[in-house]
Structure 1
Amino acid sequence: METKVGVKEFRAHLPAYLDSVSPIAITRHGETIGYYIPAHPGRNQAELDALKQAAAQLEAMMSALGVSEDDIVAEFKTRRTTDKR
């Protein structure tokens, strides 16, 4: 079912509506003047947990190999400039 909200309410609660996963009809004086349609659904808790686990595994691998974030950034910059030639 479509959610309808007035312009003032939409503006006042914009952060909450931006986190919404379903379309919202925006009205003025009871007439629909536009729609907010989310580009993609928000991440669910399982996805966030999986990302955190992957980040922890990457950090452990980097630590075991003695590689820092600065090392990775430096390598990226080097490859980016040499690959342009």
Structure 2
Amino acid sequence: MAARVGIRELRARLASHLESATPIEVTRHGRTIGLYVPLPHDSGMNERERLLEAGRRMQAELERIGLDEETLQSDFQSWRQRQRADKNN
């Protein structure tokens, strides 16, 4: 489970938060604005394995806050279409 941290606290204690193996849910005014999922510190894992494990942790955090892959993909595609439309105007 991610630690829920406000942006002020994140700024104040950035080094210690980044050294932690715990994912961080960053909030602003109580709303989630981002997730930070560190790579595992396990030296027995190669880079690919560490990235895959971080991906699994990210998936678990997204599920915890109620997001799924289809919703994210749909939201991203909508955002992308708006960006293209704005660029063409």
TM-score, length of structure 2 as denominator length: 0.44
TM-score, length of structure 1 as denominator length: 0.46
Rg larger in structure: 1
